[in-house]
Structure 1
Amino acid sequence: MFHSIGALVSGPKTRWTTLIVWVAMAIILSVSLPAAGDQKQNNADNLHEDSPSLQAARVMEKYFPGESGLPALVVWHRPDGLNEQDFRLMAEISQQLKEKPLKGQKSLLSLHQFPPPALKQMVSEDGSTLVQPIIFDESMEPEQLKKSLHALQDRIKKASGTDPFTTTMDAPDKLSLRISGPAGIAVDATDLFLNADFVLLIATILLVLVVLLLIYRSPLLAIIPLIGVGFAYAVTSPLLGWMAKKGWIVVDSQSLAIMTVLLFGAGTDYCLFFITRFRQELMRDSNRFHALRRTFREASGAIAMSGFTVMLALLALLVAKYGAYERFAVPFSLSILIMMLASLTLVPALLAIIGRVAFFPFVPRTPEEEQQRAVEKGKDYKPKKARRTLSATVGQLVVTKPRRVVIACTITLGILAAFASQITFTYDLLSSFPKDMPSREGFERIAESYSPGELAPVSVIVKNGPDLSKTLAEHPAVNEVAERQISTIDPAYSLYRLVLNANPYSQEAMKVIPELRNIAAEALETSGAVQNDTSIWLAGQTAEQYDVKSWTDRDSHVIIPLVIGLIAVLLFAYLRSLITTINLILTVLLSYVAALGMGWIILHYGFGVAAIQGAIPLYAFVFLIALGEDYNIFMISSIWKKAKTMPLKEAIKEGVTQTSGVITSAGLILAATFAVLITMPIQVLVQFGLITALGVLLDTFVVRALLVPSLTALMGKMAFWPSRSKQQESSLKTRAK
């Protein structure tokens, strides 16, 4: 089948047809459909609609409409103490906002209506800071919210005659302002990703180009994989944009940024495997079309299998309930599918068109061609002696000392994996942002001058219950409880605003959410109000973060077994060996945990990171398990084919020797592309990029090169179980005769 497909897409005539089809497809889709980048939606809900915090938000919107919304906290700060001029400026701005509200503004704390003594009581104890909340419509798009906040800044600059938003917050005797709170954080988060996918695209292209030039030492050959990836991107982007415009999927800056890395990393690998095999065939056959057909027959099956493995693993994210996971599924899997098709159609067609010239100046030739060139130049032809390479040394090692290799690799990976048990996770959004980001600076000022919980209070809503102010205030994590509010729409509903004494985005604060719910439920039950249709809801950023953790844990428990199961089925269907399938799954799992441990060693002990983002383990798992099996598939495929004609140990040795070079190069490229994420300004991408790059390197240099072939050598013919090896079948036929 693959031989026929190879002839169809890269024949003497059809090669041009293949190229024209890809060019036409890229142009038509790019012109007729919107680009994915134009359909980004960075404010999409991550929480499932059944999340308790979202249910609470809907109740709050209905019965306390003036209290619901997206708060922006304007932090007024002067190190030497706010003065009368500052208070007059606050009052002037407050009156402007009251008379001419910003777009999307729902309510605000009207400072101009407060008498001077009352206004001064709102200032922090040291007299340096005052926080002014402005509530916006929570359905606002980030760009609309950004325009409103910029309009607010313009008003303050005009009224003050200075720019307090650029003044450092520790500048003596100078007024500085920062906008924090959920609204400020949302705008800053959007700005962090502004043009990030384009910058990442350029950085990835340059990096891959440099690495390919170092590997091939051929300018033209280094460009061919980039052409394949470029066409794949040109087809993928409008398809994603079209689906997003139809409302079938949601794309955001983060998913597009990682998709770019995945497309270049995995796509270049597929091209690399094909081109390397083509080079080998060109050294055996002078006809490039015949060489391409054999290349297709030998390499296409493993490439297709690898592509489907990664694609199905990424599609498993569709069952996620947490939006950030679910939004990754279609962009990632579609990009892998199109890249796989490009590497099996467009790249062979380009190689058929260019031929051996693609490898210039190191053009591969058959021995006969080399001899003819030597004669034409009047030189004696001397066949090149085969040199013992590092790959050959590794191949010899894994078959002569497999037990020692297995023990050494297992101990090394096990030690690294042990550090994974020490990892501390965080769901603190602010900790992912740069320290000089305005909303983070504002939050840190609030935390120093007030309770850090002022940034995002917890709202407790109770139906048909007594006053719980005193009961809620007794919790040690509660710093303050505002006066109970009775709904004007339905007096059965009461609202309590709680200010915690901890960072509202921290694990410490998240643990308080179920405790507050239980305390309120027990108090209501004791009062007997529970018999009167009593309900309890908790809203706010901390409650939402608690739901994020709950959904993340749920998705991990569902997706991890699903991905393992899907990959196991594919491996068994391809290899027809249960033993090898189990070996490949277990070794990659060990490598994944070791990558987490190694990442923690670097981040925690090397850079002082206190915790990694809670979403990282599942992100890294899906990528490392799927991509890690890629290299195993290529290596095992080579061993299986060679085992048809030679003893198993010799097949292992030859398979490792033959595939080590190309897999090592592919692993370095893939790790390097993920490492590009380390340059991003948000920590969740930095941590994901580092851990994934480390995992790819462990798979490349430890699991694939040493552990898996050594295990196969140790097990011998049992590695084929339950199917029989070709040697066994041949032996049985001989005995039968």
Structure 2
Amino acid sequence: MNPKSGLAKWVTGKWSRWVTLLIWIAAAGLMSALLPSVNNEEKNNAPNLSDSKPSVQAEALANREFPGGADIPALLVWHRGTGLTDEDLQHIQKLSGQWTEAPVPHQTSIPPLHQVPLAALKGQLSEDGSTLVTPVFFSKSADTDQLKEGVDKLKEDAAALLGANPFEAAAGSDNELTARATGPVGIQIDATGLFKNADFALLMATVVLVLALLLLIYRSPILAFIPLVAVGFAYGVIGPLLGWMAHEGWITVDSQGISIMTVLLFGAGTDYCLFLIARFRQLLKTEGDKGKALRAAFSGASGAIAMSGFTVVLSLLALLAAEYGAYHRFAAPFSIAIFVMGIASLTLVPALLAIIGRASFWPFVPRTEGMQAERARKKGKPAPHAAAAPRYRIGSAVVKRPALIVIASIIVLGGFAAFTPQIKFTFDILSSFPEDMASREGFKTIGEKFSEGELAPVKVMADTQGKAVSLENDLRALPYVAELSKPTIGKETPSIVAYDVTLSMNPYSLEAMGHIPDLRAAVESSLQKAGADSPENSVWIGGQTAEQHDTKVTGDRDTRVIIPIIIGMITLLLLVYLRSVVATVYLVLTVILSYFSALGLGWLVLHFGFGVDAISGSIPLYSFVFLVALGEDYNIFMISSIWQKRKTMPLKQAIREGVGETGSVITSAGLILAGTFAVLASLPIQVLVQFGTITAIGVLLDTFVVRPFLVPAITTLLGRRAFWPGKYAPIEERNVRSS
């Protein structure tokens, strides 16, 4: 790009720079005023599984044949360590009667405990008489806010009757009556609440961290605010744009996605800004005209910024190929955010730099030697000595011992990657919650006093076709079945029979999920023995354990599909940009190696440092999307510098100077990006703690191992072969003085 024409001239022009700034101010202001906020358009109960999934089909059948199954329960866990008293039980019965006559918002039904004799109610207590679980059913169509409204009313009624709120009493109290809302409703409310409460704290923590790191690294208050201003304006456009798209039904956004998008925007956005700022700062030391320096910096950095942003956008768009809803919903918000931020980096940031000029770096303003001498003359001081030639220690070490560096880097990265087979995964949603969260406390009490499986029974339905099927006996005989309900007959199809199966284990555990195929096989076997036709088409298994099983199967499918798509797109982009098959191959392979190293090292940190027994099953794909795309950003920026310099100097010198000149900006950018992802580790949501930790580790490995050592060392070893089949015009190699 010619620095004297096109976009570079426009965004840095005398008047057009102000026009650029005004356009961004108007865009952010008008869009924020006229379009809905993305936070008001969040949909946190959007389905993650399509209608073709077995558990979803089972749910549809249950809604039709067993209408009562269309309700979702809030399980109220009543507990007194010394044992529930008759007065406690009578109060619970009064509440049952009250909620029967005057249902709370969105309540559909409740068991008539007020009509049960006290002696019979005592039979439903735990063995030690300390605990009772009572369900309250809510409409399946109610969203999280509506469910919370209903549960809050339950708590208010209980507090009014008892004189104290048992839902606020300390868990584990022996002498005090405690109550907790758990089950599907309680879990959904708590999960959504965690993300909602985390949004503002996450935003503030990210802003403070980025500002602190920028001040620490560049020691300039004005410069520290320039990237934040750019990100702020970009967010002012992105938020309303996404809100409008969600309002129109084109996309779906949720709290988790918005939280991660905020981190990504600040981390990646600041990186793109720094790529330009660092080049501008460097040129100001040799160019007296700030406009020429800025246009030259724009010309040198804009290609790498655009390529880096495009790589991330396409990688995120690959999530559109996902079948799992949570993955698919991330594609549009994340890619749009990076796209808008890329535009801001190439328009708003250079406009701000053109307006502020050298003062952007105050109090350490970069000046040419002539400017420094003139400044010293006016102050009556001797002219400063000419600056010594820059010393590129890392670049010099790389070109001196490339083989040793490649071997050492591969040993380090490969050693961490070797731990990936030891990683254990979980799909237990409760493991992501803080231990003191109400739904988890209630679940723990159920597990201790009853059976964990009661939290979410598995619904088994079969079409007996009028045959005498020994289904009940066969199900009771299964070793992992703790209890079995009485059979119910289908409303529209009497030949369909349903059982609620209580498992003898945590229904959200990997072990429980693994028994879903076993349950299906057992039912099909019963139908086959009875002579039923097509037993494989006559069995439906629903419930949350079945949904989690389908989630795992769908997630595994998405991983197999999306990872090759991302690798293929990044490979194609690098081929077009670098015009080198060899360089493209080793750039992609090094980032993949870095990804597996981050997984392995992340597992060690989480397992031994945080005491995590298993990480969320969604982490590998999420981490891959971000680490491969963002990790390639640093490679692109550094390799672009080498590719440009080798046109005017020997390759080894180009590597030496390219690594040296990009080292400081990539290091600072990497620290900021890793820091923003590490902020996620401060949240009380384990899935974000795990994602933030592994991604931050991956960014640091890219910043301090892959970019400064491994990639340039491989380039040095390959020499002119690194450019194949692109043209390489050799320049006579000359001795490069060591630094």
TM-score normalised to the size of structure 2? 0.97
Tell me, yes or no, if the aligned pair for 1:196 and 1:253 is still in contact at 8 Å: no
Q: Does 1:659 align with 2:662?
A: yes
Which position in structure 1 is the counterpart of 2:643? 640
CA contact (8 A) 2:107 2:137 kept: yes
Q: How much has 1:273 moved relative to structure 2? A: 0.9
1:168 paired residue number: 170
Contact 1:464 1:533 in 2 (8 A): no
Runs of 5+ consecutive residues of structure 1 not aligned to the other structure: 732-737
Aligned partner of 1:481 among 481, 484, 489 = 484
Determine if contact 1:457/1:498 at 8 Å carries over to the other structure: yes
Q: Find the counterpart in structure 1 of residue 441 from structure 2.
A: 441
Name 1:734's counterpart in structure 2. Answer: none
1:98 positional shift: 1.3
Cα distance, 1:115 vs structure 2: 1.8
Decide whether the 8 Å contact of 2:96 with 2:112 is kept in 1. yes
Q: Is 1:519 the counterpart of 2:522 in the alignment?
A: yes
In the other structure, the counterpart of 1:367 is: 369
SS at 2:418's partner residue? Answer: helix
Aligned to 2:451: 451
The one of 574, 592, 604 aligned to 2:607 = 604
User: Whole-Å Cα distance in 1 between the matches of residues 284 and 455 of structure 2?
Assistant: 66
- Give the equivalent residue in structure 2 for 1:116: 118
Q: Which residue of 2 aligns with 1:616?
A: 619
Q: Does 1:329 align with 2:331?
A: yes
5 Å-filtered alignment, 1:667-686, equals: 667-686=670-689
Say which SS state the counterpart of residue 196 (structure 2) adopts.
coil
Residues 2 and 300, structure 1, Cα contact 8 Å, conserved in 2: no
Deviations 1:433-454 (A, max 9, x none): 0000000000000000111000
Judge conservation of contact 1:78–1:169 (CA < 8 Å) in 2. Answer: no
Question: Which of 690, 695, 702 in structure 2 is aligned with 1:692?
Answer: 695
* Residues 470 and 526, structure 2, Cα contact 8 Å, conserved in 1: no
| Match of residue 419 from structure 1 | 419
**Runs of 4+, deviation exceeding 6 Å:** none
Give the aligned residue type for 1:260: T
Closer/same/farther in 2, CA of residues 2 and 51 from structure 1, 3 Å limit? farther
Q: Distance in 1 between matches of 2:278 and 2:21?
A: 21
Structure 1 residue 70, shift from structure 2 partner: 1.1
8 Å contact from structure 2 (residues 524, 535) kept in 1 = no
Give the match's secondary structure for 1:50: coil
Residue number among 560, 564, 582 corresponding to 2:563 in the alignment: 560
CA distance in 2, matches of 1:248, 1:51: 23
Residue 684 of structure 2 aligns with an amino acid whose one-letter code is P
Aligned to 1:577: 580
Write the distance in 2 (CA, Å) between the matches of 1:454 and 1:195. Answer: 29
Any idea what SS the aligned residue of 2:67 has?
A: coil
Please name the residue that 1:100 is paired with: 102
Contact 2:202–2:679 at 8 Å: present in 1 too?
yes
Name which of structure 1's ranges 702-711 and 113-122 shifts more when overlaid on structure 2.
Answer: 113-122
Cα distance in 1 between the residues matched to 2:708 and 2:160: 65
The SS at the match of 1:529 is coil
Structure 1 residues 358, 533: CA separation in 2 closer, same or farther (over 3 Å shift)? Answer: closer
CA distance in 1, matches of 2:68, 2:207: 50
Residue type at the aligned position of 2:217:
I
Is residue 727 from structure 1 mapped to residue 730 from structure 2 by the alignment?
yes
The worse-fitting range, judged by mean Cα deviation, of 123-132 and 560-569 is 123-132
- Could you list the per-position Cα deviations for residues 185-216 of structure 1 after superposition, in whole angstroms to 9, with x for gaps in the alignment? 01111111224222211111111111111111
Q: 2:76 pairs with 74, 77, 80, which one?
A: 74
Whether the 8 Å CA contact 1:420–1:597 is kept in 2: the answer is: yes
1:410 and 1:440 map into 2 onto residues whose CA distance is: 43
| Aligned partner letter, 1:587 | T
Residue by residue over 1:275-300, the C-alpha shift from the partner in whole angstroms, topping out at 9 and shown as x without a partner, is: 11011111111111111111111110
- Partner-residue secondary structure (3-state), 2:68: coil
CA RMSD of aligned residues (A): 1.4
More off after superposition, 267-276 vs 365-374: 365-374
Residue type of the alignment partner of 2:179: L
**Partner Cα separation in structure 2 for residue 533 and residue 415 of structure 1:** 46
Aligned position for 2:203: 201
The answer (yes or no) to whether the contact 1:463–1:533 under 8 Å persists in 2 is no
Amino acid corresponding to residue 568 of structure 2 in structure 1: G
Determine the C-alpha separation between the residues in 2 that align with 1:617 and 1:655. 33
- SS of the residue corresponding to residue 193 of structure 1 reads helix
Deviation at 1:62, TM superposition (A): 0.5
- Matching residue's letter, 2:210: V
| 1:87 and 2:89 correspond | yes
Tell me the equivalent position of 1:348: 350
Distance 1:468 1:303, change over 3 A: same
Rounded Cα–Cα distance in structure 1 between residues aligned with 2:14 and 2:613: 60
Identity over the aligned pairs, expressed in percent?
A: 55
Quick one: which of 281, 300, 303 aligns to 2:302? Answer: 300
Aligned partners of 2:668, 2:610: CA distance in 1, in Å?
Answer: 29
Deviation at 1:67, TM superposition (A): 2.6
Distance 2:534 2:374 in 1: 99
Post-superposition shift, 1:179?
Answer: 0.7
SS of 1:101 mapped into structure 2:
coil
For 2:386 and 2:91, locate their aligned partners in 1 and report how far apart those are by CA, in whole Å.
84
Deviation at 1:106, TM superposition (A): 2.0
2:316 to 314, 317, 321: 314
Alignment of 1:106-505 (within 5 A): 106-386=108-388, 389=391, 392-465=392-465, 466-505=469-508
Q: CA deviation at 1:2?
A: 5.3
